[in-house]
Amino acid sequence: MAEGVLTGVTVGITAERRASEFIAALERHGATVVHAPTIRIVPLPEDEQLRAATNAILQSGVDVVAVTTGAGFRGWLEAADGWGVSESLTRALARAKVFTRGPKATGAVRQRGLWEVWSAPGETNDELFDRLGSEDLRGRRVAVQLHGAPLPEHVAALRARAAEVIEVQPYRWEWPADLAPVKDLVARIGAGEVDALAFTSAPAATNLLALADEGPHRKAFADALANRVLCACVGPVTAAPLVERGIPVAVPERARLGALVKLLVARLGR
């Protein structure tokens, strides 16, 4: 594709993970990128709750495993590597029925020599947990790998079906230490200086909206997203916080970073 098709276009991105790769791809097409991370992913290899959840699986086994993200599953097994228990953990998981939320989670599972019995075709948590709900879970031990934030509604639904749920959270999302770049991005959006916002995670989108709601540019920001700024999201899960607000979104056919870049080029390129 020709260089410079996004010359004169300003794109705001809120990602922390793979941000440099994303920025480089947009800049190769000539875009001006405003990078303002709205979340910080904190790994928890020394977290007592993560270690306790892992030990519970090692000691008593598990019948069903729900893998929600590839990065989260890899982070969990990397923590287990550091504790010297990854082989034992892998053996315990191999005896369970593994359900994954799409290709990324599936890839992480297979990388460890495991095999899923089912994967969500639309890559959503709703699909994943609806499918789990069709299983007979009475008295079964179900490990749910979380990523960044709890899933209380889904976990409660499993427990309501008499499952014993072990929540495994290898990462936590926090606000970034410096909010100045995000506040500046909100102001620039309100002032009409940003053409597009590109989101790669739902929590990042949620945090941007929350910060804008609390700031002095709330109305101008909301008007811009409703009428002028292209909000491009890597997939429907990421788009959900915006859709709930009635904000128009664009989503590529495949939930991949490269596809998101191509979408921005197609919609905004000269």
pLDDT at 42 over 90: no
pLDDT at 25: 94
Left if phi > 0, otherwise alpha if psi is -120 to 50, otherwise beta: which for 172? beta
**Out of 38-42, 220-224, 260-264, least confident range:** 38-42
Q: How confident is the model at residue 1 (pLDDT cuts 50, 70, 90)?
A: very low
CB-count exposure of residue 37 (10 Å: 0-12, 13-18, 19+): buried
The CA-CA-CA angle for residues 183, 20, 5, to 5°, reads 90
Q: Copy the structure tokens of residue 179.
A: 């909010």
pLDDT at 246 over 50: yes
What span, in angstroms and rounded, lies between the C-alpha atoms of 254 and 236?
A: 10
**Out of 7-21, 77-91, 215-229, least confident range:** 7-21
Q: DSSP letter for 126, please.
A: H
pLDDT at 138 over 90: yes
Q: Do 10-39+175-268 and 43-173 agree at the fold level? A: yes
- What's this model's pTM, rounded to 2 decimal places? 0.71
pLDDT tens, residue by residue, 61-76: 999 999 999 989 999 9
pLDDT at 201: 87
Those residues whose C-beta lies under 8 Å from the C-beta of residue 40, and which sit 6 or more positions away, are 16, 173, 174, 175, 176, 177
Average pLDDT over residues 187-191: 97
Most distant CA pair in the chain: distance in Å? 60
pLDDT at 192 over 50: yes
User: What is the CATH architecture of 43-173?
Assistant: 3-Layer(aba) Sandwich (3.40)
pLDDT tens, residue by residue, 146-173: 987 788 999 999 999 999 999 999 888 8
Its sign, for the CA torsion 70, 166, 42, 188, is: positive
pLDDT at 202 over 60: yes
Q: How confident is the model at residue 3 (pLDDT cuts 50, 70, 90)?
A: low
pLDDT tens, residue by residue, 6-30: 999 999 999 887 888 999 999 999 9
User: Domain residue spans in the chain?
Assistant: 10-39+175-268, 43-173
Burial per residue of 240-255, b for 16 or more beta-carbon CB atoms within 10 angstroms, e otherwise: bbbeeeebebbbbeeb
Average pLDDT over residues 46-52: 86
pLDDT at 264 over 60: yes
pLDDT tens, residue by residue, 112-126: 999 999 999 988 899
3-state secondary structure 81-112: HHHCCHHHHHHHHHCCEEEECCHHHHHHHHHC
What span, in angstroms and rounded, lies between the C-alpha atoms of 108 and 93?
A: 13
Q: What CATH number has the domain spanning 10-39+175-268? A: 3.40.50.10090
**Out of 20-29, 146-155, 218-227, 245-254, least confident range:** 146-155
pLDDT at 2: 45
Q: Where are the beta strands (DSSP E) in the chain?
A: 10-13, 32-35, 40-43, 64-67, 97-100, 118-119, 141-145, 164-168, 171-174, 196-199, 230-233
Average pLDDT over residues 200-213: 92
What is the pairing mode between strands 64-67 and 141-145? parallel
